[in-house]
Structure 1
Amino acid sequence: MDKKMDEIKEEIKIFQAKKYEDLEKFRIKFLGKKKGILTILFKKLKTIPIYKRKLYGTIINDLKKKVQEKIQMNHTKNFIKKENTLNFDPTVPGKSIDIGSIHPISILKNRIINIFRKIGFSYVEGPEIENDWHNFTALNFPIDHPSRDMQDTFFLHRNPDILLRTHTSSVQIRYMKKHCPPFRILSIGKVYRNETISSRSHFMFHQAECFSIDRKVSFSDLKKTIQYLIKSLFGEVKIRFRPSYFPFTEPSAEVDIYFKNKNNRGWLEIMGCGMIDPKVLKNVNIDSEIYSGFAFGVGIERIAILIYQINDIRLFFDNDIRFLRQFKSDF
């Protein structure tokens, strides 16, 4: 019995695992529940004379402890180290994590901000919940004037004075009230109109409002600024200005571009523009005898539809990850 114990002790001592399978075989050989060497020895203790049981029990427990230590030592030092050495190359690039992409409207918004910053425009924002004066009256919309019907409005709390802004021109009024010319300002934000949702319209969309006030600002300055924006977004395309009407600009125009792709072909209206009406300047205490200015507003979704060749505006608001992950940006 003593000789057998010495042989087991020596075998445990010299054991070294080269792979995981060796370690598992070693564990089963000595500690297996049915045929493990030490398991069998524990069962045979009852056949040994009582005066020897304590001694042999201590020896077997000690062997069991050595087996467990050997398994742990090989696993943490030898086996893991070898596995890493043989199967892991630290120079191989790791797998990239999918962190998503920027929303196409945000991509275009950042693009437009960058375009105008290059020519000296500052970016500002304003509240989406407005009052009647900033959204309509200060912009030369008389109380009973039919021009108010051009934009179906969401009023809040049944209060005809509190509403969701129908255009970002309200930011123009707020800025001009607090600052003295000259200035060049760009504002982009959500606007709301009570319209039926379809592939071409939505009750909410994003609008970019651009305005500039200084001495001797002319319609020619307006045209050059719009041409710069369109060329920056679309490249070389045909542009035309058509006379139009807006309460807050005089003269006013609508701008079309000739566009051709798989979804659109022909002249497409993309924005409204004009010289800021002297009455609007008077409402914000700017002397129209000294200063003049221009303004124009463009729908971001309308531009995005053309640039990304998308035929349904609702895709921008559905949050479908399959749609959104197609867009990448440097911003």
Structure 2
Amino acid sequence: MREKLESMKSQVTEEIAKAVHLDDLEKIRIKYMGKKGLLTEVLKGMGKLPPEERPVMGQIANQLRDYIEEILTKAREDISKREKEARLQREKIDVTMPGKIRTIGKRHPLTSTLDQIKDIFLGMGFDIVDSPEDGPEVELDYYNFEALNIPKNHPSRDIQDSFYINEDIVLRSQTSPVQIRTMEKHKPPIRVIVPGRVYRSDEVDATHSPIFHQIEGLVVDKHVTMGDLKGVLGVFAREFFGPNTKTKFRPSYFPFTEPSAEVDVTCFVCGGKGCRVCGNTGWIEILGAGMVHPKVLAMAGVDPEVYSGFAFGMGLDRIAMLKYGIDDMRLLFENDMRFIEQF
């Protein structure tokens, strides 16, 4: 047994010397001193020795146990020290290096423009209608076209102009369907603006995108006239573009309004004198408008003999581009912080 204990001492010393991690030392401890460990088994077999040998072998076994515990403790300290030094080396911080600057987001020019427009119309007593329930982007053909006095054979129903999901469902090509849904749900007087995303089958270039944003306005009440429309849009133009801004109405055609007009404002760059921005005309087109067509009122359940109304619509992207001097519409959709940080 003496030889066995001496061999065990050499073996455990060698194994501990090769240990790299604390887990390795724990495995060695269990191997020799656990409930079924090699040294534990030796101690359990002491009763089988002759009585005269037991004291000597017991002393040697106890000395071996103390030795193993001692070198395990020292090995744990050494490995812990090495691991701590390695961790400190990995995690050290060079306080002389410049710190990392946390990038702070900026308000997108489209958001800023929309918020300003909302504030102007809220100040004139308009409500904002922009929930998915009031105006889904995947819209029925009826609301997107038919209820807006756009018959089956109208050019805007062409597959090249609109995104059709099937014969009866399209991605809305304008926010005007919300006007119909609003008139169906609420009785006049109605005074709302409708901001939202719309879709048309356009090629992507500096001034076109298959996805863009519109803002519709709708007023329905008794005795509403074209003069009311001009007054509202005049206030909007002066609040948004500047107090000296003038408006000009040019005759136009939209199937859902009659009469219809294109609305221009004096160029906010040159003040109407003529420059590159306005094509030397002194005027910039900003939106389309008109009196709500009697057929549209009737389709929405509003009696055109009792009520009248006006509507207008503008492209939010175009308004933002004019306001901030942006010459490429694609920049509004790229989310490039180098672009957004300029505003």
Could you tell me the TM-score, scaled by structure 2's length?
Answer: 0.65
Question: One-letter code of the match for 1:203?
Answer: P
Q: Is the 8 A contact 1:151 1:166 kept in 2?
A: no
1:178/1:210 Cα in 2 relative to 1: closer, same or farther (>3 Å)?
same
Q: Which residue in the other structure is 1:187 paired with?
A: 194
- Which residue number corresponds to residue 257 of structure 2? 249
Q: Is the 8 A contact 2:126 2:193 kept in 1?
A: yes
- Out of 113, 122, 131, the position equivalent to 2:127 is 122
CA distance in structure 2 between the aligned counterparts of 1:218 and 1:149, rounded to whole angstroms: 33
TM-aligned CA deviation for residue 151 of structure 1: 8.2
- Aligned partner (choices 172, 176, 180) of residue 173 of structure 1: 180
In structure 2, which of residues 155, 167, 179 is the aligned counterpart of residue 160 of structure 1?
Answer: 167
1:278 equivalent in structure 2:
294
Counterparts of 1:125-144 in structure 2 under 5 Å? 125=130, 126-144=135-153
**Cα distance change, pair 321–211 in 1 and its aligned pair in 2 (3 A):** same
1:209–1:296: 8 Å Cα contact kept in structure 2? yes
Aligned-partner residue type, residue 145 of structure 1? H
How many residue pairs are counted as aligned between the two chains? 238
Deviation of 1:173 (Å): 0.7
Q: How far apart in 2 are the matches of 1:151 and 1:179?
A: 34
Tell me which residue corresponds to 1:43: none
- What secondary structure does 2:183 align onto? helix
Once the two structures are TM-superposed, the CA of residue 229 in structure 1 deviates from its matched residue by 1.0
Classify 1:251/1:229 alpha carbon distance in 2 versus 1 (closer, same or farther; 3 Å): same
Report whether the alignment pairs 1:240 with 2:243.
no
Q: Which residue of 2 aligns with 1:317?
A: 333
Q: In 2, distance between residues paired with 1:105 and 1:230?
A: 17
Q: Structure 1: state its 5+ residue gaps.
A: 1-60, 62-94
Secondary structure at the counterpart of residue 302 of structure 1: helix
Residue pairs, 1:29-178, within 5 angstroms: 98-125=103-130, 126-146=135-155, 148-149=157-158, 152-156=161-165, 159-178=166-185
Give the C-alpha shift of residue 276 in structure 1: 0.2
- Would you say the 8 A contact 1:167–1:192 is kept in 2? yes
Please state how far the C-alpha of 1:98 moved relative to its aligned partner. 4.0
In the other structure, the counterpart of 1:38 is: none
Q: Cα deviation per residue 1:116-136 (whole Å; 9 max; x = unaligned)? A: 111110001221110100000
Q: Distance in 2 between matches of 1:97 and 1:167?
A: 39
Matched-pair contact (CA < 8 Å) for 1:257–1:268: yes
Q: How far did 1:268 drift?
A: 2.2
Report the CA distance shift for 1:108/1:263 in structure 2 as closer, same or farther (over 3 A). Answer: farther
One-letter code aligned to 2:142: W
- Report the alpha carbon displacement of residue 148 of structure 1 after superposing the two structures with TM: 3.8
Contact 2:238 2:246 in 1 (8 A): no
- Unpaired runs of 5+ residues, structure 2, are 1-73, 75-99
Q: Which amino acid aligns with 2:152?
A: I
- Matches of 1:238 and 1:196 in 2, distance apart? 33
Is the contact between residue 147 and residue 247 of structure 1 (CA under 8 Å) also seen in structure 2?
Answer: no
Report which stretch shifted further, 257-266 or 278-287: 257-266
Distance 1:229 1:143 in 2: 35
How far the C-alpha of 1:204 sits from its partner, in A, is 1.2
C-alpha deviation, 1:207, in angstroms = 0.3
Task: Tell me how far apart the structure 1 counterparts of residues 154 and 170 of structure 2 sit (CA, whole Å).
Answer: 18
Is the Cα contact below 8 Å between 1:252 and 1:272 reproduced in 2?
A: yes
Cα distance in 1 for residues equivalent to 2:253 and 2:157: 13
Q: 1:160 to 1:105 in 2, by over 3 A?
A: same
Q: Bigger radius of gyration, 1 or 2?
A: 2
2:235 paired residue number = 228
Structure 2 counterpart of 1:129, one-letter code: V
Letter paired with 1:294: F
- Give the RMSD, CA atoms, in angstroms: 2.6
Q: Deviations over 1:74-106 (max 9, x none)?
A: xxxxxxxxxxxxxxxxxxxxx996431111101
**Which amino acid letter does the alignment assign opposite residue 118 of structure 2?**
I
Q: Residues 317 and 263 of structure 1: is their aligned pair in 2 closer, same or farther, counting only changes over 3 Å?
A: farther
> Per the alignment, do residues 319 and 272 of structure 1 end up closer, same or farther by CA in structure 2, a change over 3 Å counting?
same
Question: What TM-score, normalized by structure 1, do the two folds share?
Answer: 0.67
**Distance in 1 between residues matched to 2:321 and 2:253, nearest whole Å:** 25
Deviates more, 1:290-299 or 1:97-106: 97-106
Q: CA offsets, 1:272-327, max 9 Å, x none?
A: 00000010010011111111000000001111111101111111011111001222
Comparing 180-189 and 98-107, the one that deviates more: 98-107
Residue in 2 that maps onto 1:68: none
